[in-house]
Structure formats: structure tokens, C-alpha cells
Amino acid sequence: MAATKIGNLEQWSEGLGYEVVEGWGKLPEGWEYGDVTGVGADSEDRVYVFTRSAHPVIVFDRDGRFLGSWGEGTIRRAHGLTVTPDDMVWLTDEGDHTVRKYTRDGRLLQTLGTPGQPADTGYAGASGPGCLLTIRRGGGPFHRPTKVAVAPSGDLYITDGYGNAQVHRFSAAGLLLQSWGGPGEGPGQFMLPHGLFVHPDGRVFVCDRENNRIQIFSPAGKFLTAWTDLLRPAGIALHGDLVYVGELYAAKGEVDMVGRTMAETHPSQVTVRDLTGKVLARWGGPDPLAPGSFTSAHELCVDRQGDLYVGEIDRLARTRTGRHRGIQKFIRGFCAGAQKL
């Protein structure tokens, strides 16, 4: 597989650049990705791809060779996947209202939440235009949870989610320590807390997707600041001092999940930022199936080598072309003559 330079990549003076590896992640004959909602890499750079398909967790080596799959028949609706530093795999099952811990080969170790029992938040129970406005209050874990992140302390932070408006903090043993948030647009409130990570210093970065911002909190949930120059940020990942953000597609005239009509069409994109939120690189163009563009960049991860993997939900591609792609891999590079960050 060859790496191809991305034609519409914007490169700042820092010289940060990326190339797409076309055709990465070839599936066995007859398999399809469907929506790729989660992706993570372990300590040996095996890549775990979480899909809404007959094969929920598909595993590749870093060169895209198929290694196996697991989770068949156990996941109601896939969402987030997180591989922790101890090589545990956490899955958020949005449809079952649970968060589960697995070994790398798919052995279930722990379940948080009660299967099939959502928290009472007032949520009307159906996705669609304006649906988040039916959330009247924050509730206990969970109502359609979205993503897990682990802190240096071992605590778990979980965004919750489509039917709730909270971040929950658990001990490593699974004891609920605190929750914060609630529906709204103010500091510390959420309209779809989605992706997140925890910085080594303990700060919690949360994609507040339908409020078009990333909120940053102390380890105890105190609001610190927000980045607001985004549109529908869904996935977020940290590698060193670089923050990777995936922003979803938006169509002019479409009504979003908080009842707003989109004034313009915006292609999905990935941005690379420093820890102040400054944009260092950005790519993603109007053709969703062009190499380096996205149908909707839903979740991201970075392996130990600094290579980036972007999982895509592909409603747009299915509607326009009937084709699927699922995931893309990008190799990090630098412009000739530029200073390395």
C-alpha cells in the first residue's frame, strides 16, 4: 500500500503534514465495515476497529493485515472504543446503555451500567432533529453512552451521551465517584458529550458535539476553558503535545439534533492542534470518498509511531454512491526545510 500526499492539506509554517495510506485495512471477502464508530491501538500497534456490522471488533496489524474479530452477537449498537495503557479494550454499547471492559482477545471482564436500562433523563428515545432538547436533566449512568478515557490516576471518565448530558467519573474498580454536566449551552453543560481524552496532567478534554466546542475541565470536573472554532467535533485524541479532532459533515438546510437549521454545507475534516487549541494542520474536502477526505470523521486514535487512524460513519457515502470505506490511515511527515515541532 502506498502513501499518497493529501492534495487539499493546509500546512502551516511549522511544517506539519500527513499522507494517506490508500486501501489500508482490507477485510475478508464478503465483509463490510458499515459505520466505524470507534478505533484504538494497543501497545504493539494492533488496531481495533469498532463497527456497526456483523463483526463488531475487527483487529488489524499496523500494516492493515487482518488478524481476526470478536464481539459477534454481543453488541446492540457500537459507539466508542478505547484501548488503555494496560491493553484493556473498553467498549461503549450505546444501544445497551452499558460500558464494558475486555481483554484484547475479547474476553469480558467487567460491565458498568445495567444492560437495557437507560437512566431517567426525560430523553424521548429517538434520534433525529431536535431530539437532544427532550433531555430535561442529567441522570446516573447511563443513557446511550459514547466514550471512555482513562486518567493517569487510573480513574475512568465516560461521556454519556445521546440520551444524557453528563460526564461520569469512576474509580479503576468501577465505583462511581462523581458526575457533572446537564443539558444546556453554558460552561460545564452539554449538548451531546461525545469523544474525550485525559491529559497526563489530569485535565479532561470533552467534545461537546452539538454545542460546536471542546470543553476542558479539571480532574474534578471544574470548567477551565473551551475551544469554540469547531463544527460538530466528534472524536479527539492526544499524542505527545498534539491534539487530533474529527469534525462531522453538515449539510445546508439540515436540522441538527438541537433544532438548528444549518446555514451552509461543511465537509467533514480533521484538525491537528496544539494544547492551546491553535490549528496546526487541517484537511478534508467536499468529495467524501476522495483520499484524505471524510464521509464523517467520527473517532480517531494515534499509534506509538505517530500514525493516525480515522474511523468514519458513512451515511453520506451510502446515500451518494452506495459505497463504504470505513477507516483511513495517515502517516505523519514534515515539509522540506521546515522546523520540526
Q: Tens digit of pLDDT for each residue in 141-178? A: 999 999 999 999 999 999 999 999 999 999 999 999 99
Residue 137 — very low, low, confident or very high, per pLDDT cuts 50/70/90?
Answer: very high
From CA 326, how far away is CA 34, in angstroms rounded?
A: 7
Question: 40: helix, coil or strand?
Answer: strand
From 186, 333, 304, 310, select the one nearest 248 (Cα to Cα): 310
DSSP-assigned beta bridge partners for residue 147: 159
Residue range(s) defining the domain that contains residue 273 = 3-334
Is residue 305 classed as helix, strand or coil in its secondary structure?
Answer: coil
Q: Rounded to whole angstroms, how far apart are CA atoms 226 and 218?
A: 12
The answer as to whether 74 is a domain residue is yes
Give Dmax over CA atoms of the chain in angstroms: 57
Instruction: Specify whether the CB–CB gap between 334 and 317 falls below 8 A.
Output: no
CA distances to 154, 202, 206, 208 from 218, rounded to whole Å, are 15, 7, 11, 16
Q: Examine residue 341 and state whether it is found in any structural domain, yes or no.
A: no
If you ran DSSP here, which 8-state letter would residue 318 be given?
H
For residues 51 and 53, give the distance between their C-alpha atoms in angstroms, rounded to a whole number.
5
Cα dihedral across residues 161, 167, 168, 169: positive or negative: positive
Provide the 3-class DSSP secondary structure of residue 117.
coil
pLDDT at 11: 42
Question: Cα separations (Å) of 91 from 246, 308, 332?
Answer: 19, 20, 27
pLDDT tens digit string along 217-271? 999 999 999 999 999 999 999 999 999 999 999 999 999 999 999 999 999 999 9
What's 119's domain CATH number? 2.120.10.30
Let me know if residue 339 belongs to a domain: no
Range among 127-136, 205-214, 318-327 rated most confident: 205-214
The model's pLDDT over 281-309, given as tens digits with 9 standing for 90+, comes to 999 999 988 989 999 999 999 999 999 99
Closest residue by Cα to residue 282 from 8, 7, 10, 49: 10
* The predicted structure's pLDDT at residue 17: 82
pTM: 0.94
Task: Assess if residue 102 is contained within a domain.
Answer: yes
Let me know if residue 240 belongs to a domain: yes
Q: What string of H, E and C letters represents the secondary structure of 8-38? A: CCEECCCCEEEEEECCCCCCCCCCCCCCEEE
Domains: count for the chain: 1
| Cα of 112 vs its chain's centroid, Å | 20
The full length of the chain comes to 341
Number of H helices, E strands in the chain: 1, 26
Question: What angle (nearest 5°) sits at the alpha carbon of residue 200, between those of residues 331 and 204?
Answer: 95
Give the whole-number percent of the chain exceeding pLDDT 70. Answer: 90
What pLDDT score was predicted for residue 335? 42
Burial class (CB in 10 A: 0-12, 13-18, 19+), 11: middle
Residue 132 maps to a domain: yes
Least Cα distance to 99 among 141, 139, 131 occurs for 141
In terms of Cα–Cα distance, which of 38, 14, 65 is closest to 334?
14
Whether residue 340 lies inside any domain: the answer is no
| DSSP per-residue codes, 61-81 | -TT--EEEEE-TTT-SSEEEE
Determine, yes or no, domain membership for 82: yes
Whole-number Å distance between alpha carbons of 179 and 119: 13
